[in-house]
Amino acid sequence: MIHQAEDPVLEIHDLTVSYDRKPVLWDIDLTLPKGQLIGIVGPNGAGKSTLIKSIMDLIPNSSGYIKLFDQPLKDVRGKISYVPQRESVDWDFPASVMDVVLMGRYGKLGLFKRPRKADKEVALDALRKVGMEAYTNRQISQLSGGQQQRVFIARALAQQADLYFMDEPFSGVDAATEKAIITLLREMSAKGKTVVVVHHDLQSVTQYFDWLILLNMRLVASGPTSEVFNKDLLQETYGGKLTLLSDVGDLIRRERFPSREQTAKTKK
Amino acid sequence: MDSFIEFFSFTDPNIRYVVIGSILLTASSAIVGSFTFLKKKALVGDAVAHAVLPGVCLSFLIYGEKNPFVLIIGAFLTGWLSLILIDYISAKSKIKEDTAIGLILSVFFGIGIFMLTIIQKSGNAAQTGLDQFLFGKAASLVGQDLIAFAVIAVILISAVIFLFKEFTILAFDEDYASTLGLPVRAIELVLTTLTVLAVVVGIQAVGVVLMAAMLITPAAAARFWTEKIQVMVLLAAIFGAFSGLSGAYISYIAPSMPTGPWIVIVVSTIAFISFFMAPRRGIVYRMRNQRKIKKQINDENILKALYHLGEEEKNYFEKRTIEEILQKRVFHPASLKIGLKRLKRQGYIHNSNGYWYFSKAGRDKGQRVVKLHRLWELYLTEYLRIAPDHVHDDADTIEHILTPELEARLEKLLDYPTVDPHSSEIPYR
């Protein structure tokens, strides 16, 4: 059940990703449409975060290629923004909310340059959008989980990108904040931005997402939510772990086997 | 005292060299070390510090005399090599980073000591003073050293100034920095190089063994005082400079003393003081805060007991003896007396002939505590479905912390209830 999008913003071709040689994502092929709110759903350990990390080139892929706006990532970085998991950083860092959101401008600023007034205005605007303008000068160590999450989203907004990848933006967030964030993401997609979100809660899937990716070590389905969100495909995603697949992966790691016969040669 | 004046008047050019040199060394290593500290790589600095020793000895063996530039180049090379090896081992083998650091540190240091022994036994007259690299000797700095260190200090400080925002984002969220397209590997390389440079110059004053303290301790101490990274780095530099200055002075008045341990003692003392005295993060502040909370709880409990007594007799302003209060609630008699006196001072209660009674403000405050207690009990039974006989202890704590804002929210949420789960009346003003 894999729908292909026309004129895709993201094209993944035959992607395999391994940790310590063990493949955690097998042969992913998918395309994503522009201007939609897209959910990535799957059980724990399905490789959801791994997928967006490898799209952002944070972990190397063992095979295949990824194209964004029909180009490799390094040529279109300015149009792409990433929200890491909230727990991935130490929040007891000497910085204010403003300092962190301004980091979203660093890519455009370039080396050595200090943020200008215009950058601060963009950052403030991003904070306003997530409802955190009252916390501009607050120390990040004093924020609650939901506030930290909103700061991360504001930082991504400050990049003024066209395509956003967000890793679990609703984890540790209260219901009211979740609602505010989803409203914001909806507005963004209405303006033609594409937002890809790793999500955990199946309850809200149909309500939140236009397009859905079902993932469990391999791609189970990708397509419009109305067509993909059904009992059979969910059963395939969540029911029964592919233990054979996982055992083969373990074997590859144990035997120090390459995950492709000719990885080094085929890579350009 | 004479030596103090002589030293701090800086008239003797040798003293000037030593002072400027020490300050440059300690301040610049503290600045670079701030980022090592924020990146949680404290041990890496220690490994580099130990790994420069074989480089120093090797340069000496090859060149034959103690030229600072030559020694620095040798030190730099082995320091760098150790870092590459640590990275390589932890990336390519099953050995974890901490083990790799331990391995590299001891192997390099072992080789260094071995070579140092050979040099000392060789009878080469130029080698005297080479062993000062072990524990440092600020007083042995001369004009030639100073030029080398000044150059390096300028490189270090200006690199940090230019790359401040890059180093900061790398320390906070390296993955994100890389998604922005920043040259993360190159910036990391620069930071590593600066760390090695800082160590290489720092060992002259502090010595190989204690160099890690110079990188990390000033930053750790500075972190207690501020939440702003710019201020933190500046404070670390000041702490470092101060300890460097004291080290130089001690090295001057007691020439037989190694400088390193003294510098480390001074900077560690600053760290200890920060640990105890700093606002918000310091231990003394936290203890005082705890004491304040204890007092508040004690006093509010007294008001609550008086209110309960008043409630029973429908007479809130009746005069009470201490025994009556104690019958209502168990207090430590001493803290009850202190609390009563404090409340009297604050105008919540009055005293006449050993009898205690509410003022208007005191009655209101007591009423509020009782109200919060009962509201919370009701909240627990209604929203958390906790049995009514299990909610009392919880409410006894929460009643002291609820803010007026939370109080208003509770009232609204529960729709201004009139009785708690035990059918006691919830008093409103």
pLDDT of residue B14 exceeding 80: no
**Is residue A265's pLDDT more than 50?**
no
Answer whether A141 sits within 8 Å of B228, measured CB to CB.
no
* Confidence grade of residue B221 (pLDDT, cut at 50, 70, 90): very high
| CA separation for the pair A23, A34 (Å, rounded) | 29
pLDDT grade for B210, boundaries at 50, 70 and 90: confident
Based on its alpha-carbon atoms, the radius of gyration of chain A, rounded to whole angstroms, reads 19
pLDDT band of residue B121 (cuts 50, 70, 90) is confident
The answer for residues whose C-beta is within 8 angstroms of residue A90's C-beta and 6 or more apart is B40, B172
Q: What is the pLDDT of residues B19-28, one digit of tens each?
A: 888 888 889 9
A246 touching chain B per CB within 8 A: no
Q: What one-character DSSP code corresponds to residue A138? A: S
pLDDT of residue B177: 95
Residue with tokens 């306003």: A128
**Does residue B11 carry a pLDDT above 90?**
no
pLDDT, position A266:
43
Tokens for A18? 């391994």
Q: Judging by DSSP bridges, how do beta strands A163-166 and A218-224 pair with one another?
A: unpaired
Tokens representing B22 are 């020490």
Residue B52 reports pLDDT greater than 50: yes
pLDDT bracket for residue A36 (50, 70, 90):
very high
Distance CA A73, CA A39 (A): 21
The confidence score (pLDDT) of residue A264 equals: 47
Report percent pLDDT > 70 for chain B.
Answer: 99
Q: How far is A206 from chain B (nearest CA, A)?
A: 29
Q: Is the pLDDT of residue B111 over 90?
A: yes
Residue that is written with structure tokens 């260094």 in the block:
B112
Residue B217 has pLDDT above 70, yes or no: yes
More confident residue, B168 or B19: B168
Least reliable range by pLDDT among B126-140, B185-199, B348-362:
B126-140
pLDDT band at A261 (very low <50, low <70, confident <90, very high): low
Assigned token pair, B163 = 């790359």
pLDDT tens for residues B66-82? Answer: 777 888 889 899 999 99
pLDDT at B1: 65
Percent of chain B residues past pLDDT 90, beyond the cut = 42
Please give the structure tokens belonging to residue B382: 């209604």
pLDDT the model gives residue A240: 64
* Cross-chain CB nearest to B175 (options A58, A77, A109): A58
pLDDT given for residue A155 in this prediction: 97
Tell me the per-residue pLDDT of B246-277, one tens digit each, with 9 for 90 and over.
888 887 888 777 778 888 899 999 999 999 88
pLDDT in tens, A150-193: 999 999 999 999 999 999 999 888 888 899 999 999 999 999 99
Q: Which residues in chain A are contacts of B171 at CB distance < 8 A? A: 93
Task: Give the pLDDT confidence score for residue B269 in this predicted structure.
Answer: 93
Give per-residue burial for A124-151: e unless 16+ CB within 10 Å, then b: bebbebbbbeebeebbbeebeebbbbbb
Q: What is the ipTM of this complex?
A: 0.91
| Spatial CA neighbour of A210 closest among A196, A231, A220 | A196
pLDDT, residue B424, reads: 87
Q: How confident is the model at residue B142 (pLDDT cuts 50, 70, 90)?
A: confident
Q: Kindly tell me if the per-residue pLDDT of A268 is higher than 70.
A: no
* DSSP classification of residue A2: B
Interface probe for B, chosen from A91, A112, A151, A164 (most Cβ of B below 10 Å), is A112
State the Cα–Cα distance between residues B417 and B429, nearest whole angstrom: 13
Task: Indicate the average pLDDT of chain A.
Answer: 90
Residue B145 or A146, more confident: A146
The Cα-based distances of A41 to A146, A205, A210, B108 in angstroms read 21, 9, 13, 50
Which chain B residues are within 8 Å of A95, Cβ to Cβ? Answer: 168, 172, 227-229
pLDDT for the residue A257: 76
Full-model pTM:
0.83
| Mean pLDDT, residues B226-244 | 94
Q: Give DSSP secondary structure letters for A243-255.
A: HHHHHHHHHHHHT
Nearest CA in chain B to A59: B175
Helix B360-383 with B404-413: angle, nearest 10 deg: 50
Mean pLDDT computed over B172-193: 93
Contact B175 A103 (CB under 8 A): no
For residue A106, which amino acid is it? Answer: Y
Instruction: Report the distance separating Cα B222 and Cα B220, nearest Å.
Output: 6
Instruction: Tell me: pLDDT of A10 over 90.
Output: yes
- Nearest Cβ partner for A111 among B38, B166, B176: B166
Matching residue, tokens 């430590």? B332
- Which of B62-71, B240-249, B270-279, B406-415 is predicted least confidently? B62-71
State the burial class of residue A9 (Cβ atoms within 10 Å of its Cβ: 0-12, 13-18, 19+): buried
Q: Using an 8 Å Cβ cutoff, are A35 and A193 in contact?
A: yes
Confidence grade of residue A67 (pLDDT, cut at 50, 70, 90): very high
Q: Residue A99 pLDDT more than 80?
A: yes
A242 CB-near residues (< 8 Å, 6+ apart): A216, A217, A218
